[in-house]
Each structure stands twice: as structure tokens, then as C-alpha cells.
Structure 1
């Protein structure tokens, strides 16, 4: 499970009661919860998040203990009024919103330039089960390298991505690393502030971190069940 910073990682960890041990890997440190997930503060931004997540996935695979699911988690900006402060969002699409080119006719995603991908889609069944368990909203979570700070940019993002509920900085990078390892991905965000003009007095970071802890407390059985199902499914395919 990858967050950007330690305070987010610790908020998720509080949802899992087991003791935690630190495992130092090349370039990253994973906090492993006994009977629970591995937790990684992967860093801020899509590039560092991708690199850190890839390092943890590679180390686990080489150790013979590959992960069955990668979860990008943390707080985020929410597109008002659809995603109010304190709400929880589960992504059914993880989209890189500013990966592409600015032209005289507007923004072109990198796929329109003939390269790569801009959207990863988590398993639909997992999204349904996770959102139902946590009482979360479901929609697109955008990944940006520059956080939105104006009403004009917020409006432009809404126009290009009408299903967008939240904006963060790591999900697409985590999803890229997971895809490279053939591992499914999920993104879960708690809304701490509205997307748009930066008004720090209106931010509710503490409330969002508490919502993250509460949400993962409800999500834990779903994630554990999914991991067992996915592991068994892989084993059955291997045996056939």
C-alpha cells in the first residue's frame, strides 16, 4: 500500500491492529503489519511514487513473496460539490491529467501524440466491493504533477474529465509500477480540500486523515478477501 508521506501511511496503519516492523529495501523502507499489508511512504509526485513502488514490488518478487494487489492511498483535493470535504473516493479510473502537450487548440493527452497510456482501470469488481464497504464515492481520480491552484484550471480539468472526483499526485505513478509487474491496482482517497484556489484555512487535513483510517478499517476485509481470491485464481490458472 503506497502513500505519499508518512502521515498518510500512519493513518492507514491505524486501521490495522497488528504490530508493525520496518523492512529496509534498496531505496525504500516498507512498514509490514503482521497479518496486514505492507505500507510504503513512496514520496510526493508520480515519478518518485512510481520508482519507490516499483522498487518494493521488485524486492518482494525476488524474495518469493510477490504482492497480489497495490493500493495507492492518501488525502486529495475534491471537485466540489461532487466530492465534499471528508468524503472517501475509490477510483474506477486513475488518469494522468497533465501528461501530454499544450497546443494552440488546447491540451492533448500523450495518447493523442501516439505514446503510452493516460488511464489505468482498477478491477471493476474490486471497485464495487470497496466502495460499498467503505461508503465511498466512485469515479475518476486525476494525477497531476502541479496541484491546481486556480478556479480556471479546476474548470478546465472538469471540462476534460467530467467524471473526475478528486485530484492527487501519486496514483498514476503507482499504477504504472503495478502494471509493469502485472499486479492490479486500486486508489483510495480522502478529500481534505476543494480543488481550485488555494485556501489553506479551508483545508481539513486532520479530518481527511481520520476518514482514511476509518475507511480502511471498513476496507480491510474486502482487501484481504480480494488478495486470497486473486492468489487462488493465479494458482488455478497456473495448474491448468
Structure 2
């Protein structure tokens, strides 16, 4: 099984890069956001074929159902802003009849993920305003996680019929922006510990 690791920034997988290079497992740094992610992942898939895409990174959590530093699997991800406004009502792409804006992960049968599964949204603007947070949580009460790339990875993978997994570590809560409450180092540490374990214990590849 050929694997591609995808991350928005190099810092998110930096501790694991020596392991990936030693195992000849390719990784792709796309840059932040869905546009950059879709473009660079698409270009990579033109050149090389993979059986599994693993998107990893940090993310924000809505509410306190998860702790800072927790590592979670994103079972479903949506582009939250893809749609139209009808005065005070938001109309999704599905409601408009223009397609879909949500995609799910696909876990190969030989892989076991021993981490909680959550539902996420991908956004162009990370929420940091109390009114906008209340609005999105009212519209999508089931969501627990927010990132800026995940749905794009799932979209590209679905179009190319490639299995895809998205794993995130919680670096902050989605609230009025206050960097003093963030713990990015803990999130990165736990994310890379999980990725190292995944590579060493659950993934084997033949090149």
C-alpha cells in the first residue's frame, strides 16, 4: 500500500520527517487553506499514484467536548461557507441543487484507528468572533472541529477514488481569539507521537 502524508505546513510533521524519509514514505506540504491544498494535491496525484492519503495537522475545537492536545479522526468534513445567503438564512450547496459540500473519510480495512471520531468543518476564515461562532454552531450543531484544509483533501480523494484519512490534534478552542489559551506545542507533540506510532505499528509499504 502506497501512502502519501499531506500537511499544510512543514512544522506540523517536522519531528516525523526523518522517519518518513527513512521509510521512503512521501509527504506533501501544500500551504494553508483549501485552494492551495486542492491545487498542490491535485498536481501530486497527476505525477504519482497512491492507495491512501493521510492528512494530518492541528485544529480548533468547538466547545469543551475535547481537550487541548487530543488527537482525533475526522470522519466527515464540510466546506462550511460553500453556499449562498438568503437574508438571515444560509443555503447549502445541496439545498441550492449545485452538488455536495461534505465528504467522508475512507479507512482501508487493514488499518485500525484507535482515536475518537468527530465531524469537522473546513473554513477560509478561522472563527474568532462570538457572534459568528454562535451562528455556525446553531447551523451545524454536530460539528466539533474546525480546520482550513481537511475538506479539500477529502474532496480530491473522492474525485480520484483514493482512500483518505484526516487526523487532527486540538491546539485551541474555537472562541474569541486569545492566543494565551492555545497550546500548539502540545498539539504538535501529540500529533507526531500518533503519526510515529501509525507508521511504525500499523503501516507497511513496499516500493
Q: TM-score, normalised by structure 1?
A: 0.77
Give me the whole-angstrom Cα distance separating, in 1, the residues matched to 2:168 and 2:95: 28
Pick from 123, 139, 145 the counterpart of residue 166 of structure 1.
145
Q: Given the superposition, is the C-alpha separation of residues 224 and 83 from structure 1 closer, same or farther in structure 2, using an over 3 Å criterion?
A: same
Pick from 55, 59, 67 the counterpart of residue 47 of structure 2.
59
Shift of 1:181: 1.5
Pick from 219, 224, 229 the counterpart of residue 203 of structure 2.
224
Segments of structure 1 that go 5 or more residues without pairing to the other structure are 19-32, 61-65, 229-240
1:90 equivalenced with 2:69 (yes/no): no
Shift of 1:111: 1.6
Q: Given the superposition, is the C-alpha separation of residues 89 and 55 from structure 1 closer, same or farther in structure 2, using an over 3 Å criterion?
A: same
1:136-147 equivalent positions in 2, closer than 5 A = 136-147=115-126
Segments of structure 2 that go 5 or more residues without pairing to the other structure are none
What do residues 18-61 of structure 1 show as CA deviations (whole Å, max 9, x unaligned)? 5xxxxxxxxxxxxxx2425311110111011000111111110x
Q: Given the superposition, is the C-alpha separation of residues 112 and 36 from structure 1 closer, same or farther in structure 2, using an over 3 Å criterion?
A: farther
Shift of 1:103: 1.7
Pick from 202, 206, 230 the counterpart of residue 181 of structure 2.
202
Give me the whole-angstrom Cα distance separating, in 1, the residues matched to 2:15 and 2:61: 19
Give me the whole-angstrom Cα distance separating, in 2, the residues matched to 1:207 and 1:87: 9
Q: Which residue of structure 1 aligns with residue 89 of structure 2?
A: 106
Asked whether the equivalents of residues 107 and 164 of structure 2 are also in contact (C-alpha less than 8 Å), the reply is no
Asked whether the equivalents of residues 73 and 187 of structure 1 are also in contact (C-alpha less than 8 Å), the reply is yes
Q: Residue 44 of structure 1: SS of its match in structure 2?
A: coil
Asked whether the equivalents of residues 91 and 122 of structure 1 are also in contact (C-alpha less than 8 Å), the reply is yes
Number of aligned residue pairs: give it.
202
Q: Which residue of structure 2 aligns with residue 236 of structure 1?
A: none
Shift of 1:180: 2.1
Q: Residue 149 of structure 1: SS of its match in structure 2?
A: coil
Structure with greater proportional helix content: 1
Asked whether the equivalents of residues 89 and 165 of structure 1 are also in contact (C-alpha less than 8 Å), the reply is no
What do residues 185-222 of structure 1 show as CA deviations (whole Å, max 9, x unaligned)? 11111111111211011111111110111111232257
Q: Given the superposition, is the C-alpha separation of residues 125 and 68 from structure 1 closer, same or farther in structure 2, using an over 3 Å criterion?
A: closer
Give me the whole-angstrom Cα distance separating, in 2, the residues matched to 1:114 and 1:222: 44
Q: Residue 13 of structure 2: SS of its match in structure 1?
A: helix
Give me the whole-angstrom Cα distance separating, in 2, the residues matched to 1:158 and 1:223: 35
Q: Given the superposition, is the C-alpha separation of residues 34 and 204 from structure 1 closer, same or farther in structure 2, using an over 3 Å criterion?
A: same
Q: TM-score, normalised by structure 2?
A: 0.88
